[in-house]
Amino acid sequence: MKYENLLITTDKEVAIITINRPTKLNALNKATIEELHYAFKDLGKDKKVKVIILTGSGEKAFVAGADISEFANFSEKEGAKLAAKGQKRLFNFIENLSTPVIAAVNGFALGGGLELAMACHFRVASHNARMGLPEVSLGVIPGYGGTQRLPQLIGRGRAMEMILTASMIDAAKALEFGLVNYVVEQEHLMDLCQKFAGKISNNSPVAISYAIKAINAGFNNSINGYETEIEAFGSCFGTSDFKEGTTAFLEKRRANFPGA
């Protein structure tokens, strides 16, 4: 597929998706959301890709939100459809992807931009990053999972404060809140993400996909996370990765996981 709004590079086992609408601070329009869906779908199917890093182009923004110009005239029905489709096609899709996704938050991550970063498996930010869910200042609420994922990540009280005040927090506060795992200078952001990607790539892709599934299950009210963990744990024993991992350990060598 040819992407108009994304740049995708793959280097060995790591793919980088860069949202590329810098003049609009990488705001998520409909086309970009669709392209992201297909990019994650394709890279998720590619067995050579062990980790995906998601970032925004330019030095100013990760993503400054959903494209306000696209939904300003929507009806109630259209609004609900926008949220439902976006959650299904992109935000839940990333969260449940078997391939780990790291958000490299290189500037503003606002509204849908922060929701996008929160749908990723974890987040690393540069010092200039500013994060917030300013939707109530526009007369709307977060609709791409923000009211759910923000309290999960930072606790209900802090999420209430951020959403109700519509204020932005800086990178240091985001680190303190646990919204991002690390904060570094912008020029080191991608290197640090690559470092994590390298560590992840050494591990069993199958076990990693089961770990993601089990962790996510604990945040899904309709599933028992402990049961999911038991099932996934058992499934690992039937995989070639498990055989290789345990054999390599006993033979005192590094595992070379087949990814099956």
**Which residues does the annotation mark as catalytic?**
115, 135
The answer to whether 131 contacts ligand COA (rule: CB under 6 A) is no
**Closer by beta carbon to ligand COA, 21 or else 158:** 21
Contact 29/81 with Cβ under 8 angstroms? no
Q: Centre a 10 Å sphere on the Cβ of residue 20 and count the other Cβ atoms it contains.
A: 17
- In which element (H, E) is residue 77 found? helix 76-86
Q: How far is the CB of 49 from ligand COA (least distance, A)?
A: 29
Question: Coil, strand, or helix at residue 66?
Answer: strand
Contact 55/106 with Cβ under 8 angstroms? yes
The contact mask relative to ligand COA for 194-233 (x = CB under 6 A, - = no) is ----------------------------------------
Instruction: Give me 257's structure tokens.
Output: 């996981």
Instruction: Give me 225's structure tokens.
Output: 């996370």
Detail the DSSP E strand segments found in the chain: 6-11, 14-19, 51-56, 61-63, 101-105, 108-110, 122-126, 130-132, 169-170, 182-184
Q: Which of residues 47-66 bind ligand COA (CB under 6 A)?
A: 64-66
The answer to whether 115 contacts ligand COA (rule: CB under 6 A) is no
**Closer by beta carbon to ligand COA, 28 or else 94:** 28
Looking at 62, 108, 196, 257, which residue binds ligand COA (CB under 6 A)? 108
The answer to whether 30 contacts ligand COA (rule: CB under 6 A) is no
Instruction: Give me 100's structure tokens.
Output: 């780990």
Looking at 110, 183, 217, 232, which residue binds ligand COA (CB under 6 A)? 110
**Closer by beta carbon to ligand COA, 108 or else 177:** 108
User: Which of 166, 107, 168, 174 lies closest to 134, judged by CA?
Assistant: 166
The answer to whether 116 contacts ligand COA (rule: CB under 6 A) is no
Looking at 35, 95, 135, 241, which residue binds ligand COA (CB under 6 A)? 135
Contacts with ligand COA: how many residues (CB under 6 A)?
16
Contact 124/184 with Cβ under 8 angstroms? yes
Q: Which amino acid is at 208?
A: I
**Closer by beta carbon to ligand COA, 108 or else 257:** 108
The answer to whether 24 contacts ligand COA (rule: CB under 6 A) is yes
**Closer by beta carbon to ligand COA, 95 or else 135:** 135
